[in-house]
Amino acid sequence: MNAFSAPRTVSAESAERAKLAELEAVLERTVTAVKAAGELLRERHDVGARPGDLEEVVGAIHANDEAVLALIKQPLLTARPGSRWVEDELAGGALPAGEWWVVDTAEGNINHVHGMGDWGVTATLVRDNAPVLTVVHLPLTGDTYTAVQGRGALLNGERLRSSAKTDLRAALVGTGQAKPREDEAALRRMGASVTAMLINALVVRVSVPATMQLIHVASGRMDAFWQFSDVRSGLLPGALLVAEAGGSVTDTRGVPWSLTSDDFLASAPGLHTQAVGVLSDLG
């Protein structure tokens, strides 16, 4: 080691600590904003809601999105000066360089407007196409899932661990649509994957939204989730939570997942190779 190595190392470590402290402060403000948005969505929730047609469903979904967006957008942008906002929550693919907020103002909105309980609010800060922090809040239970890149995943402050299972035949796995009116080929592929997993796994869940299944994978309550889609807002929160809980996050061929991937697989590490073996032959 030369005379200049140690100072540079110390400086790098100090810079890393400063960045982490900065992200922790952003996380705290994100939790506050997401919880406030969740409370508004909880107040709008009606267990007796029974929309009668597509127009009513779409109108209720848009009303929820607009109400929560008005409450959450500015606090998050203020929490991270210089960050930008992804306007289309159903979009996929890579983002331009820099920091972006990918937010689902009502993840599981379709459930919310039908009086069901599987919904929440999510916010993920993405830096140069990699998620660096996320918050998922479920207003009906009060549960808050959080993760910061490299610092682990938490539920209400308690560390999460992915499943320890190693036999796919004992696994509870799941999939679901990313959005309405998806490409027919993707839907047929999803149907084929359900059949394949029904044969190879113990039980298969097919439901929406993705985040509500991915928090179970991160918590070890479920063992795998896959989706033939690239909708960012549905995958980014769970991708970071599962990875930080020790799970495997790739595409269905086992290649590390990114925003340019065509599909998605998150699983317990001991099941990953088996899950890839089932899904990778489906096209």
pTM comes to 0.94
What mean pLDDT do residues 48-54 have? Answer: 97
- Give dist(CA 135, CA 174) in Å, integer: 22
Asked which of 44-48, 228-232, 255-259, 275-279 is least confident by mean pLDDT, the reply is 228-232
Cα four-point dihedral sign 217, 221, 226, 230: negative
Looking at residue 3, its pLDDT comes to 41
Question: Mean of the per-residue pLDDT values for the chain?
Answer: 94
Give yes or no for residue 2 having a pLDDT over 80.
no
What mean pLDDT do residues 120-137 have? Answer: 98
State the residue for tokens 């937010």. 103
For the stretch 19-34, pLDDT in tens is 778 899 999 999 999 9
Nearest to 44 by CA among 106, 118, 89, 98: 106
- Give dist(CA 141, CA 247) in Å, integer: 24
Looking at residue 159, its pLDDT comes to 98
What mean pLDDT do residues 37-50 have? Answer: 98
CB contact set of 11 (below 8 Å; sequence gap of 6+): none
Looking at residue 21, its pLDDT comes to 84
Looking at residue 13, its pLDDT comes to 75
Looking at residue 6, its pLDDT comes to 47
Looking at residue 5, its pLDDT comes to 40
Q: Which two tokens stand for residue 278?
A: 């089932």
Give yes or no for residue 7 having a pLDDT over 90.
no
How sure is the predictor about 283, in pLDDT bands with cuts at 50, 70 and 90?
low
How sure is the predictor about 49, in pLDDT bands with cuts at 50, 70 and 90?
very high
Share of the chain above pLDDT 90, in %: 87
